[in-house]
Amino acid sequence: MKQILSELIKVSSCFIVLALSAGCKPKIEVYTIPPVPPRLVAPEHWEEKPTSRMLEAEKQRFEISMEMDDNDTVTALATLTVLPGSGDRRNRTEEEYKQLRQKTLRLNVDRWRGQLQLKPLPEEAVLEDFMKPVEGLPEMARMIDLNGTAVRPPFGSARTLGVMIPRVNSLWVYKLSGDARVVERERNTFLKLLPLWH
């Protein structure tokens, strides 16, 4: 065994010498691989559904139903979506990177507001004033709680609880959205599950 290892070392050394003598310079390339989200094991009343075919970035989706006194059933969705992040920060100053990250967060917040028939935030508004940190999540995690009206019939009260976590070259977006009564009932469960889902 020792003899085989010795021969392998000699052969490898020959290749290195040949490469160097041929003028080849070793090149080191560094790749950052974004973390992969874990699969959440959710409560029994959260029914896992296939992720959206149109939104490849969506990683997991649950439907939560609630039966009302009039035998009507209302629902909400809990989802995890992994979006492209703010890009490589190595070629940006800390301030440039922070501004780009804020712009990404704001685009998502304004899109969610539109889904609740709310106007975008005023241009002069400071996004941080509308968001809160989330206990048990990384320091950069931010949560926003929006109330409005559904854009589809029966146009009832709707609510979106959104949590965004900037990660390596990605933005992890957790949402609990749908009928306001379901979101209110599931809010604490959703927030308690987040540390297990990141």
What pLDDT does residue 5 have? 45
Q: Which residues contact 156 (CB under 8 A, 6 or more apart)?
A: 74, 149, 150, 179, 180
Strand order in the sheet with 142-149: 46-49, 58-67, 73-84, 170-179, 157-167, 142-149
User: What is the chain's mean pLDDT, rounded?
Assistant: 83
Flag whether the pTM goes above 0.85.
no
pLDDT tens string 118-165:
999 999 999 999 999 999 999 999 999 999 999 988 889 999 999 999
What pLDDT does residue 32 have? 57
User: At residue 13, what is the residue type?
Assistant: S
**What are the residue boundaries of the structural domains of the chain, listed by start?**
37-196
Q: Check: CATH 3.30.1360.70 for 37-196?
A: no
Written as six digits, the tokens of 13 are: 């050394």
Spans of the chain below 50 pLDDT: 2, 4-5, 8-9, 11-21
Q: How far is 193 from 41, CA to CA, in rounded Å?
A: 9
Q: Which residues contact 64 (CB under 8 A, 6 or more apart)?
A: 45, 46, 47, 75, 76, 77, 78, 178, 182, 186
